[in-house]
Amino acid sequence: MHVLRNMVGAVKPGGLVLDLQVIRPDPVVESDGVVVCTIDGEPLFRTADAATAAIDAMVADGQLIEQAVDDHDVRNHYANGRELVDDFADRKRRLRDAKSVRALEGPCAMRERCRLRRLLVA
- Tens of pLDDT, residues 40-89: 999 999 999 999 999 999 999 999 999 999 999 999 999 999 999 999 99
What is the average pLDDT score of the chain? 96
Q: Predicted confidence band at 5 (pLDDT cuts at 50, 70, 90)?
A: confident
Give the domain ranges of the chain.
2-121
Contacts of 21 by beta carbon, 8 Å cutoff, 6+ apart: 48, 51, 52, 114, 115, 117
What's the whole-number mean pLDDT along residues 3-32?
94
pLDDT value at residue 1: 65
